[in-house]
Amino acid sequence: MDSNTTGGSYTPPPPPSGGGPMTPPPAGGGDLIYPPNPPKEPVLILLLNLILAGVGYFLIGQNTKGIVAIIAALVIGVPTCGIGWGVLCIVTGLDGYFQSEAQKAGHPLGQWTFFKDHR
């Protein structure tokens, strides 16, 4: 029976078989970013993010987060005469440090994980 006619029925397709247990999505959403070999030094990521909010994220693979942080720093920094920029640099510096520490310990990251939110 055609599904476009009145009274037709629809049966959804079965879920894809993966052959194993389903893995949960990453905690921070998006693709998983596995630790580089050798891992980046957390202090380097901290310093880069303190100088320019978001730059350190590019080294640990959180590229989208880095772009958003740079744009946010510009948008917030201009009307606050740089105060917002400084605050955002401190926040991204600490976050980048914790993200890099997690990678150094062997934990994968999500694109949008923050601080110590790693599962």
Per-residue pLDDT of the chain (119 residues; tens, 9 = 90+): 555 556 667 666 665 555 444 444 445 556 787 787 888 889 999 999 999 888 999 998 889 999 999 999 999 989 999 899 999 999 999 999 999 998 888 888 888 888 877 65
Tell me if 5 is assigned to some domain: no
Handedness of CA 111, 115, 117, 119 (dihedral sign): positive
> Phi/psi of residue 109, each to 5°?
-110, 155
Model pLDDT, residue 101: 92
Ramachandran angles phi, psi of 33, nearest 5°: -110, 110
CA distance 106 to 34: 8
Q: Residue 105 sits in which domain range? A: 34-110
Q: Which residues contact 53 (CB under 8 A, 6 or more apart)?
A: 69, 70, 72, 73, 85, 88, 89, 91, 92, 93
Is 100 a domain residue? Answer: yes
Instruction: Report yes or no on 76 lying in a domain.
Output: yes
For residue 75, is it within any domain?
yes
